[in-house]
A and B are shown apart, each in its own frame.
Chain A
């Protein structure tokens, strides 16, 4: 097997803020807290940081401002990536590439957002008095009352239900399992257990998606610190190796023209990832699957080969997606229950678990993790491993 790996780069520090429904803080303040926390966790000081990377959708403070706020006055790498959760693996992969190519020695990567109290991705607008003017592809759709991600995702979900006979109950199994995982996570914003009746009794958002199919919008920040594995081995935390990654961004990013909404970007990214990693889905101990919606988990798990088309509901209901099963899916509760930090919190959880620091939600013997980012036409994935 000709694996193309990044095995010489590691995550050495993780940090985050509290996740809340109303931070009362700037994204700058939260980013600085998460970055400082990650740097301290790595056993480093800001003086050791020479690179910063983040992604944002015009809703956060840029890297240079955050660097200043943590006392880093000179950067040899300052990477501001435009996008939402679709970039949550790309930002880490690019920071790793920068370290490998000598552009920087030690990079802090963050995402900071007031995702609930500030710009909300599931809402068209605040209650303005003048009409919205929508450009780009949205100019054809928004006037029809169709313009937000929950609507696009519902459209894709319905198509999957039509083609493969998947059901709302299948989606419910995902929400229920992840909530059970969040129950053991004090950092999660939603921890109360839910059963199928509870799931089915939550209100529709856009049929066929209910409230519990949608991510929990929160305010907060998460950060990780990346450096070479050589340096990592001299630092206090067990290094977590960035083993391999892949990306796919296709078909113009159009949710309407995408050829087959029963698959996502992962249909293209998965074979690349497994080829580069040199192993496959059965080698993964746990997966932080980007879960802006339950349907994203369904399609992405099928694409990565964890189960056959239409089998995801059974996979969850039979306990194969939780502790003691085939692979633990979103052991922190995911974006659905821990909170929507656009997937940066997935990296935090992956590292936390691979250090075996996750306490009562620890995935037993965890050595390999899949983290995915994004949904629909665009996204990426990384495989993390413990230091061999």
Chain B
């Protein structure tokens, strides 16, 4: 048992839709109404053209762009949970659109760059939030 839970998101007006979607079981990011680019982290308007944005569900598939094996106790909530793999996942929905994520259930030796991954939603301990982790695709 962890005495201290993992960090909780400090949600703001721009990120509200991201966390709300996860709570509803959907993995979504902001997409521009005009140029149709996805963007992350979120902002009030499209970074590229200044148009309005809306959260849109993503496919949930991606590829490992890079990864690390966390071996030193660093982040509260994960201090006794070593080692674990964090992968930087490039999402299928747009080249260069990435998100760092724990690779659930993966042994460090099973992981390599370029592997396919698929989203899995899990509850975040210590609060009422859902987070998107990824797991190696079959």
Residues from chain B with Cβ under 8 Å of A64 in the complex: none
Residue contact A135 to B86, C-beta cutoff 8 Å: no
Binds B, one of A120-128, A186-194, A314-322, A341-349: A120-128
Residues from chain A with Cβ under 8 Å of B65 in the complex: 159
Closest Cβ–Cβ distance, residue A44 to chain B (whole Å): 44
Residue contact B133 to A128, C-beta cutoff 8 Å: no
Residue contact B75 to A206, C-beta cutoff 8 Å: no
Residue contact A134 to B74, C-beta cutoff 8 Å: no
| 0/1 interface trace, chain A 159-186, chain B, CB 8 Å (1 if under) | 1001000000000000000000000000
| Interfacial residues of chain A within 123-169, with CB under 8 A of chain B in the complex | 123-125, 127-148, 150-151, 154-156, 158-159, 162
Residues from chain B with Cβ under 8 Å of A143 in the complex: 6-9, 124, 129, 131
Q: Indicate whether A206 sits within 8 Å of B88 (C-beta atoms), given known contacts A133-B10, A158-B66, A257-B40.
A: no
Q: Indicate whether A144 sits within 8 Å of B70 (C-beta atoms), given known contacts A131-B127, A159-B65.
A: no
Residue contact B6 to A145, C-beta cutoff 8 Å: yes
Of the candidates B9, B74, B78, B113, the one whose C-beta lies within 8 Å of that of A162 is: B113
Residue contact A135 to B68, C-beta cutoff 8 Å: no
| Interfacial residues of chain B within 79-138, with CB under 8 A of chain A in the complex | 81, 83-84, 86, 88, 96-102, 108, 113, 124, 126-127, 129, 131, 133
> Is B18 part of the binding interface, using a Cβ–Cβ cutoff of 8 Å?
yes
Residue contact B68 to A208, C-beta cutoff 8 Å: yes
Tally of chain A residues near chain B (CB < 8 A): 46
Residue contact A154 to B68, C-beta cutoff 8 Å: yes
Of the candidates A130, A140, A144, the one whose C-beta lies within 8 Å of that of B133 is: A144
Residues from chain B with Cβ under 8 Å of A156 in the complex: 66
Q: A145 CA to B7 CA in the complex, in Å?
A: 8
Residues from chain A with Cβ under 8 Å of B76 in the complex: 124-125, 128, 131-132
Q: A124 CA to B74 CA in the complex, in Å?
A: 6
Measured CB to CB, the residues of B under 8 A from A are 3-12, 15, 18, 40-41, 47, 65-72, 74-78, 81, 83-84, 86, 88, 96-102, 108, 113, 124, 126-127, 129, 131, 133
Q: A12 CA to B99 CA in the complex, in Å?
A: 47
Q: List 20 A-B contacts (CB under 8 A).
A: A124-B74, A127-B4, A128-B76, A134-B8, A135-B9, A135-B12, A139-B15, A144-B131, A144-B133, A155-B88, A155-B100, A158-B67, A158-B113, A159-B113, A203-B71, A207-B71, A256-B88, A256-B98, A256-B100, A257-B98
Of the candidates B18, B68, B81, B101, the one whose C-beta lies within 8 Å of that of A151 is: B68
